[in-house]
Structure 1
Amino acid sequence: ADRWNRFKGLCVGAGMQAGACCLASLALLLKKATHDGPFGVSERHPEGFHEMVLLVVVIVAGCIEALGANLASISVKKDWVPCVFEGAAATDLARVNTTMSNIDLVTEVVAPIAAGFVLQFCATDGELAFLLIAAANVISFVPEVGLLYWLYCDCERLHYRSEAVEEEEKVPEAGEPMPVPAAASPKKVENAWMIWMRHPSGLPLLTLSYAALFFTALSPHGVVLTAYLMVEDVSPALIGAFRGAGAIAGVIGIACFTMLRRGKADPPEEGPLDVAENTIIPELRRLNLRFVGFQCLCVVAAACAFTVMKHEDEDERIQNSTMTHPVAPGWVMSGVPTGIALFAACICLSRIGLYGFDLGLLELEQLIVDERFRSAAGSVENALCALAELGVYAMSIVLPHPSQFIFQVR
């Protein structure tokens, strides 16, 4: 993608997402046809065969959609934005990053609510609800691509990519060695992982530190934590409120980062990016360290609250087992365990540090990553984050019982 026309790369990503939605919808329609049409159960295809095949199709569609989403997201956030604001005031780049992060959080909250209304409206026909949601997703790509095409036509800087500076070819004099081509040329380095490993400015360490944050089960919208809360008989309404509180904490984190970022504005920061990098980059590193440190403190507090809650729970169970008339645990308050409430509050507070760090990381990468390798570096970062999430799911398979969830918390 680093060598493609920028708009072409965006269209490929959006097309992959739209095609994946259509493929999943087709699988759903075929599933209905296997029951209501001529493709039902037969001796050649026993019961459950079609469902398994269509499940594989849906999984493949999900993988295609994820790849397209990564391609489009990397293109816009880490390539288009720094190109459009190249040479502008540094505060303009920070402002647009903040706006885009807030838009992401708003859609993260609004989209599930809208989908929930559709599911409730079509409660008697879940397949119809799925098709309506898929159709809305496909239609949404039309204004997305249209607006970005308008931006692409309006900004000439997006029409070309910077290339390696090539020295003028000259005929060496007698006794002089032949010139050696630059090893850092994108035509010589093909593998994204090698580009990422060799990139200067501490990019590998920065990416690894960010990916490590994804190796956790303490995410308000994570399936592992949601499953545990459901096992603990926490109502769906409270789980939804917990997720909403996490998103609100993210907005607070972005606002805090923005205020601190502006509060440390120095005169060079109002100049062009290429002039202010020596001031901005050290400042961003310090702010990122503070926000990720705050997140770590909140996660440690959440782990301590969870550990204390489990110990008190065990003591109450032992006490109730020796009583004729068991009583409710002492840590239950208004139907919600106090320990779980404190545990959830600490997790929500940790999102302030996470989203602040994420915003600072985005701006830092926009400044330090070579324009020729932005897609390669972004793809490696997404791969490492996905690998960390896969580790969480693997741990859940190894430790499946709810009583073992404490090991994932720690």
Structure 2
Amino acid sequence: MLLFAVVVVLACVEKLAASANTVAVERDWAIVVADALAIPRQDLNASMRRIDLFCKLVAPVVISVIDGLSTRLAIWVVLGVNVLSVGGEYFAIAMVYTAVPQLERRWDTDDEAQDGRAIPRSFSLQRCIRNAAAPWREYISSPVFLASFALSLLYLTVLSFGSTMVTYLLHAGFTPLQVSGMRIGAVAAEISGTWAAPYIMGKIGPIRSGLWFLNWQFGCLAAAVAAFAFYDNQSQLVAVSLIVGVALSRIGLWGFDLSVQFLVQEGVNEHARARFSSTEMALQSIFELLSFATTIAFPLPGQFKYPVYISYGGIGMAAVCFAMYVRKERGHLLHMSKCFGVDKKRIPLQEGVLHAA
């Protein structure tokens, strides 16, 4: 038990370090590199996400094969790969940092320290609380808050090929090999989303693409949620509808993710970018914890429909939040004049209700 506790603590440290790495490289460095090398941001974001998803596709398959031979061997392989990758990753990061001089930016973030003024000890606790709350206030007041919050809501879900849904599928009668095949199909759909997102963003812009991708995700899962409502939770029909719906929805998920990421990169000042991304990731982790809490509250396989309903409700809330963001930015959700064939030029401005964006 002591060894297990040590492993858990180390895993928590690794998770924290990985999040910090993501904020630094994917959310901050990527923008600087794209601007320095005149690379479209949406293309660079998609390429990085594609590599990430490909690794998530290959790694479980390889480890599953090795684990079939020996669990102890699989553990040593994971250790060896991680140890060897540290040097390679550090070398790659150092090369990028050296090759792009714009990454070497420095600015003072503590004006009081810069002025050399001492902070009274009696106010140190108050100052700590104020500093802890400052990123959240800045996050909420950001013009892209609603878009980022919508993305964060999608982490309140069991509708993915994660551990919760895999456990449900195994209980429904699928074999581990079949589940692995399903995960491969889902990741393939996710990768296709990273190809589609830059193309669609280039055609209709990141705001409209985000709206359509999120609606795609919501629509793909409708049949699966309906199946849970009208049929036995543990039937093969319900499980198959869930598998198909989740796999197709991943296209919308990652297309929406890349659209929002582009909006955040464009809408957040570079001095606040790291704080904004860190706060966003903290919020995503909170919603992820809540998704685990739903399975604690409803632990039985026959109760899996309730976490499914909650997850689908989270996607619906995300759609509402992003629709509010679109309405705020563009002044409308749909071009009503185009949808209904109304000629807006014939409607006086003071009398009409349709306005051009």
Task: Bin the TM-score by the shorter chain.
Answer: 0.7 to 0.9
Supply the AA of the counterpart residue of 1:57.
V
Maintained 8 Å contact 1:308/1:339:
no
Shift of the 70–350 alpha-carbon distance from structure 1 to 2, 3 Å rule, reads same
**Corresponding residue of 1:14:** none
The answer as to 2:92 corresponding to 1:152 is no
Equivalent residue of 1:372, what SS?
A: coil
- Deviation digits for residues 136-195 of structure 1, max 9, x if unmatched? 11211211110111111111111114668x9xxxxxxxxxxxxxxxxxxxx999736423
Matches within 5 A, 1:45-194: 52-86=1-35, 89=38, 92-121=40-69, 123=70, 126-161=71-106, 191=131, 193-194=133-134
Shift of the 262–82 alpha-carbon distance from structure 1 to 2, 3 Å rule, reads same
**Corresponding residue of 1:301:** 223
| Alignment partners' CA distance in 2, 1:243 and 1:194 | 40
- Deviation digits for residues 234-269 of structure 1, max 9, x if unmatched? 1112211111111111112222212212334xxxxx
Equivalent residue of 2:262, what SS?
A: helix
The answer as to 2:279 corresponding to 1:360 is no
Maintained 8 Å contact 1:217/1:224:
yes
Supply the AA of the counterpart residue of 1:112.
P
- Deviation digits for residues 277-327 of structure 1, max 9, x if unmatched? xxxxxx31221111111111122222012323328x7xxxxxxxxxxxxxx
- Deviation digits for residues 21-61 of structure 1, max 9, x if unmatched? xxxxxxxxxxxxxxxxxxxxxxxxxxxxxxx1111111101
Q: Which has the larger radius of gyration?
A: 1
1:234 to 168, 171, 174: 174
| Alignment partners' CA distance in 1, 2:64 and 2:299 | 29
Structure showing the higher helix proportion among its residues: 2
Structure 2 portions without partners, runs of 5+: 112-126, 310-357
- Deviation digits for residues 202-233 of structure 1, max 9, x if unmatched? 2332222111111111111x111111111111
Equivalent residue of 1:371, what SS?
A: coil
Maintained 8 Å contact 2:28/2:274:
yes
Deviation at 1:348, TM superposition (A): 0.9
Q: Percent identity?
A: 29
Matches within 5 A, 1:235-274: 235-264=175-204
- Deviation digits for residues 342-375 of structure 1, max 9, x if unmatched? 2210111111110101111222212222222222
Deviation at 1:401, TM superposition (A): 1.4
| Alignment partners' CA distance in 2, 1:116 and 1:239 | 11
Supply the AA of the counterpart residue of 1:389.
E
Supply the AA of the counterpart residue of 2:86.
F
Equivalent residue of 2:186, what SS?
A: helix
| Alignment partners' CA distance in 2, 1:286 and 1:195 | 28
Supply the AA of the counterpart residue of 2:185.
A
**Corresponding residue of 1:206:** 147
**Corresponding residue of 2:288:** 389
CA RMSD of aligned residues (A): 2.4
- Deviation digits for residues 384-410 of structure 1, max 9, x if unmatched? 111112112112111111111111111
Maintained 8 Å contact 1:85/1:93:
yes
| Alignment partners' CA distance in 2, 1:287 and 1:197 | 28
Q: Which moved more, 1:70-79 or 1:255-264?
A: 255-264
| Alignment partners' CA distance in 1, 2:300 and 2:241 | 22
Deviation at 1:102, TM superposition (A): 0.8
| Alignment partners' CA distance in 2, 1:193 and 1:241 | 44
Residues matched between the structures, number: 292
Maintained 8 Å contact 2:158/2:165:
yes
| Alignment partners' CA distance in 2, 1:263 and 1:204 | 24
TM-score by length of 2: 0.76
**Corresponding residue of 1:287:** 209
| Alignment partners' CA distance in 1, 2:174 and 2:152 | 30
**Corresponding residue of 1:223:** 163
Maintained 8 Å contact 1:189/1:195:
no
